[in-house]
Structure 1
Amino acid sequence: MERYIFRDFIKYVSLNVLGMIGLSCYILADTFFISKALGSIGIAALNFSISIYSLIHGVGLMIGIGGAARYSILKSRNEEKDADIVFSTCLKLGVIIGVIFAIIGIFGSRSLASILGADMSTLPMTKTYLTTILCFAPFFIVNNILLAFIRNDNNPNLSMIAMLTGSFSNIILDYVFMFPLGMGMFGAAFATCLAPIISIGILSIHFIKRKNNFRYIQSRMPWSSICDVFSLGLSSFITEVSSSVVLITFNLVILGLRGNLGVASYGIVANIALVGIAVFSGIAQGIQPLVSKEYGLKNYKAIREVLKYALFTSLTIATVIYLGMFFYADNIINIFNGEQNLEIARITKTGLRIYFIGFFFAGINLIMAMYLSATEQARYAFIISVARGCIIIVPLVLLLSRMWEMTGVWMAFVLTEVIVTVITVLINNRQSLLV
């Protein structure tokens, strides 16, 4: 049994990690090309906008992963019709919420940009990016829903290919739109928005080749099913939305400490961190189909094995990432510091070396939150996610920034992840969560 569990773990996690890295490169590619074309003001404007991208992405993950987890459990129990109803409900929800985001983008992006901290120098670019991203929200959300369901439908290969194809397309289009065509900030945003559409095109192969074991059926959206999906996917939503809360809070604090140069420096650190967090999210999302399936079959020994592999993998990857950030900080900064600004380089270097210490704990927290959601322990998953998302980190960054300025800002992330890991261990010891 251990052999097939390890084989499936390697398959699902490796494919999902690759896909999530590709997905995270949507914004990283924007950061690189914007730094070259538009400089520090462009990076600052992008950083003000990323929180809304994270919100849209989080909604898609909540519906997709929550629905896919329930779908997998129902399928393992041979409840085919209920599984189809879950998929249909998720698809309708995704479209409806996506349209609401699009309406906000058309009529409210300027006000939203101001609320997020954009000033007269960054407001035009921030508004442009926000309007474009919000108008394409339905595609981002539906893409995340299809990725999750197809992954749970025994086709993680296609999900990975779709994510990577979308990401590589974004990189190529970023260059084409921003340099040969000179489309500026709109070009960067438009390239990012085309990526999920390309991904959806790849995912449609699953239906064209009739490999799908789920299908869309005409049915009412039962509130019980909606609440169930939201409950199981809530930790994923909180994880993404926490990125928005942290970005907004950090941006406003850093704006007061170091101005737009400080925000640009944080933008580099945060956007590189998105890739690192994507790796841990990839591990977490990779184990979700396995855990949900084995939970439905009540195979608790297999679940323990999967969790053990996931935690060990997380700590190993965290070590590799941190060593890379510590020894190659200058090289990494030069890639994104298009103006070769010495102040940005100095702030960012310190940030990379402190901020990424938190990765040793962030991976554990993300994996445990996903594990709890996949085993219908949504309340504990919510506690972990909301603790690391806003309850702890927001007060810490406000407090520590007053004590140690930028060093305190970087330390807030690290201490938050440490505290949440302790909370996770305490909850586990008290409730015996490891089935």
Structure 2
Amino acid sequence: MPKTMSQDEKYKMMTEDPIPGLIGRLAVPTIISMLITSFYNMADTFFVGRIGTSATAAVGIVFPVMAIIQALGFFCGHGSGNSISRHLGSRDEQAAGELAATGFFLAFALGILLMILGLAFLEPLSRLLGSTDTILPYTKDYLRYILLGTPYMTAQLVLNNQIRFQGNAFFSMVGITTGGVLNVILDPVFIFVLDLGISGAAIATILSQFISFCLLLAGVRISGCVPVRVRNVRFTAKRLREITGGGLPSLFRQGLGSVATTTLNIAANPYGDAAIAAMSVVSRIMMFANSALIGFGQGFQPVCGFNYGAGKNSRVKEAFWFCVKVSTVALLFASILCGILSGHLIGIFRDDPDVIRIGTAALRFQCVTFVLSGWIVMNNMMMQTMGKTLPATVLAASRQGLFFIPALLILPRFLGLLGIQCAQAVSDVLTCILTTVINRKVMGGMQDEEGAA
């Protein structure tokens, strides 16, 4: 376990340590956290899938609610975390403390509101999400327990991000990975040993999330992070504006990701179950690969926030370009390997010739443009951490929203199934172009700031 540092020691580390080693130390725990989270999500799907088709469908139907929970948590967590790192960089610990408390309790309050509304309208909500008469009982059983855990699930995401943005990724990793591993262990116990069925899967999920919540709450204190205190809550226009500015890109990213998944399923529907299954498997594989990239970028964010807040724009640029170069090289090798093994990777999830055929083509299309993701993601993370709300929100919305959804609606009209298979690649190219345009403007603004200083 790394030693606990004072705020002065953290400031010195963030603003003076050599960039490559600093980002490496911060990124390793976040990469591990993201990979384990992605893995246990796949394992959760595997265990529920053994109950039956209707149970599996119910978990998919509840996914938009899970996406809303994550969107609220990331909105408050990224919104407060980004601002905390900048305020610590400018040595304003009072403002950082107010943001930590406000972000945490805002997320908890939003979670309580979502829980009450969801439980009050459980059956209408289940039908609205797409439940049929046969799926409805499973949906209600699963959703009921998930809603009960909503308040601390949203708050847990806030704690995770606040700890990470203060340069304590190790403590964040412990909380997240412990919950992830526990969920994998409890799923088969509750589902099969205790014979709780799909309710057991939901109970395992919320219990694991509660353990993570408790560990992260303890991690705030142990790691020497800015404490979360009720007396520091400030629901003022200024603090809410800061949280909104930093969290809006995440809200758009999560929300549009949910809409994009629904649109993909609808677009693939005319081509049969094999097409839907194939695109679902491809999405799962790419999500796993993207989790490592996002974890690496999360190691960059506290460095960016501290140094931007301290007025050290040259270190922000150095860290940004270091991350772009490393991620691009890593993604190039990953894309080549994934392209070669694409058929085998699809077959791991579903041994069906049609699924493998459709999925292999789609995965290879995405491998061609996957190398662009380092440039796209690092720009988005830099702008969000610096508090550049408009450009960060536009970039967050572009890949899965502004370009991907229209591509899914337009390309199949001319290319049929091929249009669905290549839609994400087309979206990536267009997003890369937009990212380059916005990057030049933001970098130019940073140059002007340095000149003025």
**TM over 0.5, yes or no?**
yes
Question: CA separation in 2, counterparts of 1:153 and 1:235?
Answer: 20
Q: 1:113 to 1:342 in 2, by over 3 A?
A: farther
> Where do residues 232-311 of structure 1 align in structure 2 (5 Å cutoff)?
232-259=246-273, 261-311=274-324
Within 5 Å, give how 1:328-407 maps onto structure 2.
328-337=341-350, 340-407=351-418
Secondary structure of the residue that 2:193 maps to in structure 1?
coil
Inter-CA distance 125–430: structure 2 relative to 1 (3 Å threshold): same
Q: What's the % identity of the aligned pairs?
A: 24
- Aligned to 2:229, what secondary structure does the other structure show? coil
Q: Deviations over 1:245-288 (max 9, x none)?
A: 111111222234324x5433333222333222222222222211
Residues 288 and 371 in structure 1, CA contact (< 8 A), matched pair in contact too: yes
Distance apart, 1:161 and its partner CA:
1.5
Q: Superposition pairs for residues 194-205 of structure 1, below 5 Å? A: 194-205=207-218
The letter for the 2-side match of 1:69 is N
Question: Contact between 1:2 and 1:305, CA under 8 Å: does it hold in 2?
Answer: no
Q: Is the 8 A contact 2:96 2:226 kept in 1?
A: no
Secondary structure (helix, strand or coil) at the match of 1:204 reads: helix
Amino acid at match of 1:384: L
For 1:89-104, list aligned pairs within 5 A.
89-104=102-117
1:376/1:328 Cα in 2 relative to 1: closer, same or farther (>3 Å)? same
Query: Distance between the aligned counterparts of 2:84 and 2:382, measured in 1?
Result: 16
- What is the CA–CA distance in structure 1 between the aligned matches of 2:339 and 2:307, rounded to whole Å? 39
Query: Any idea what the Cα deviations from partners look like across 1:168-211, whole Å, max 9, x if unmatched?
Result: 11111222233333433333333232232121222233355472
By how many angstroms is 1:3 displaced?
A: 6.2
8 Å Cα contact 2:86-2:306 kept in structure 1? yes
- Contact (CA 8 Å) 1:266, 1:348: kept in 2 or not? yes
2:85 to 72, 76, 80: 72
CA distance in 2, matches of 1:355, 1:46: 26
Distance change (3 Å), C-alpha of 1:27 and 1:350: same
Q: Deviations over 1:184-241 (max 9, x none)?
A: 3333333232232121222233355472333314244112211211111222222222
Please say if residues 177 and 187 of structure 1, whose CA atoms lie closer than 8 Å, have aligned partners that are also in contact: yes
Task: Label 1:363 to 1:190 Cα distance change in 2 as closer, same or farther (>3 A).
Answer: farther
Q: Does 1:192 align with 2:205?
A: yes
CA distance, structure 2, for counterparts of residue 98 and residue 344 of structure 1: 38
Give runs of ≥4 in structure 1 deviating > 6 Å: none
CA distance in 2, matches of 1:132, 1:359: 37
Code of the aligned partner of 2:29? L
Specify the alignment match of 1:33 in structure 2. 47
SS at match of 1:211: coil
Q: TM-score, normalised by structure 1?
A: 0.90
Length, aligned pairs only: 431
Contact 2:183 2:208 in 1 (8 A): yes
TM-score (norm 2): 0.86
Contact 1:59 1:237 in 2 (8 A): yes
Give the whole-Å Cα distance in 2 for the aligned partners of 1:384 and 1:404: 27
Q: Structure 1 counterpart of 2:404, which letter?
A: I
Report if aligned partners of 1:77, 1:296 keep a CA contact under 8 Å in 2: yes
- 1:306, CA displacement in angstroms? 0.8
Alignment equivalent of 2:178, drawn from 165, 189, 192: 165
* Amino acid corresponding to residue 314 of structure 1 in structure 2: S
Query: d(CA) in 1 for partners of 2:417 and 2:145?
Result: 32
Aligned twin of 2:450: none
Contact 2:100 2:226 in 1 (8 A): no
Q: Deviations over 1:17-49 (max 9, x none)?
A: 11122222342122222334435x554443333
Provide the C-alpha distance between the structure 2 equivalents of 1:108 and 1:26, rounded to a whole number of angstroms: 29
Query: Kindly tell me: are residues 93 and 194 of structure 1, through their superposed partners in 2, closer, same or farther at Cα, counting changes over 3 Å?
Result: same
Partner of 2:426: 415
* Partners of 1:314 and 1:363 within 8 A in 2: yes
| Structure 1 segments unaligned to the other structure (5+ residues) | none
What one-letter code is carried by the residue in structure 1 that aligns with 2:241?
C
Aligned match of 2:236: 222
| Residue equivalent to 2:339 | 326
Equivalent position amino acid for 1:137 in 2: T
Contact 2:79 2:248 in 1 (8 A): yes
Runs (5+) with no aligned partner, structure 2: 1-14, 448-453
